[in-house]
Amino acid sequence: MSGPKVAVVEEFTAAQLDALRQALPDGVTLLTDALGAGTIGQADYLVLREEGIEDDRLAALASLRGVVTIDSGGAAVSAEICESMGVWTEGVPSPGPISVAEHTVMLILALFKRLPTAHRRLMDGVIVDGMEPFVTDQLNYSYNWVGLELFEAVLGKTVGLVGVGQIGGAAARMLVAFGVDVVYYKRNRFSPEEEQEMGIRYLPFDELLAESHCVSLHNKFTPETEKMMGAREFALMPEGSFFVNTARGRLVDEDALMEALDSGHLAGAALDVFWWEPILPDSPLRTTPNLLMTPHTAGTPAGDTVALELGSAGRVVRRRNGTAA
């Protein structure tokens, strides 16, 4: 008796398909690009990310037993038709948005702690006040021997999130857990009940900029959002505040950001995304003070993401159907 057939409805890269093959149980046949290849009718299980299934095509899949949707995409199937067919459905959380949210929070923490300055001074061998090294114990130790002028906890600080989708929402939950006062701006405001449940509060865009100790962007890039953070917006932010962008580089006027950092109006900024990627060899970003940069690494690698996402799909097959039968 042949094993079950899992159909990937849309095109995946070779690395993603390899990751999926490794994640699924032994004996499973993987049908790739099943819609394009015309093999979807053989499927026992479907994996959907961006491409949904029309109701009539779904109802015609006689051997179908289960559908897995990956929540990083927009795919959906009719729950009513699946229920009438005795087909189970499972939504698999994507690690990608969570990874970007983690990276965002990491950068925010690093800025408040002045991590780039602390690391540079430590590696440069800076020791202030003539401190001499000695062996430490519980009560005796050297504190801040590199002479940081200021480093802060995020507890009680106000962090403004601009755009609260999957990533912004995940970042909000993490920041609330740190005791942060999270304010947000988005085009379609949450209901009061949703705001209370998330522990966040709404502010209009300009007010958010003016009240936040740190602003973090989570918008999509469109022609309308290009350079949404420019000289005017940075000037609205409090002196000594921070800025983070893990969304898209073209949301930010990089010249205006560098000017705000050079003047000292902003105490620091962190970028994972840029106008040019990789950044140009002679980019002035490389020498801008108090700027922490990562090379667009907030999200998980594509293969790892699919392995995590669709590995969950494999576990679903095993859990609901014995040993992948």
Q: What is the DSSP string of 60-114?
A: T-TT--EEEEETTS-----HHHHHHHT-EEEEE--HHHHHHHHHHHHHHHHHHTT
Q: What is the dihedral of CA 148, 153, 158, 161, to 10 degrees?
A: 90
> How many CA atoms lie less than 13 Å away from 293 in the CB half-sphere?
18
Confirm if 36 and 58 have CB atoms less than 8 A apart: no
Residue range 129-146, pLDDT digits in tens: 889 999 999 999 999 999
pLDDT of 1: 47
pLDDT of 94: 73
**Omega into 278 within 30° of 0, i.e. cis?**
yes
pLDDT of 239: 98
DSSP class of residue 285?
G
Q: CA–CA separation, 182 vs 86, rounded Å?
A: 43
Q: Position 114: which residue type? A: R
> Which of 204, 214, 158 is closest to 181 using CA atoms?
158
Ranges of residues in the chain whose predicted pLDDT is under 70:
1, 71-74, 301-325
> Which of 8, 6, 42, 43 is closest to 27 using CA atoms?
6
Q: CA–CA separation, 90 vs 3, rounded Å?
A: 20
The token duo for 223 is 């022609």
Strand partners, 245: 217, 271
Q: Classify burial at 211, counting beta carbons within 10 Å of its beta carbon; exposed 0-12, middle 13-18, buried 19 or more.
A: middle
Q: Position 92: which residue type? A: V
The side-by-side arrangement of strands in the sheet containing 88-92 is: 29-31, 5-8, 45-48, 66-70, 88-92
Residue range 234-287, pLDDT digits in tens: 999 999 999 999 999 999 999 999 999 999 999 999 999 999 999 999 999 999
Q: CA–CA separation, 53 vs 32, rounded Å?
A: 15
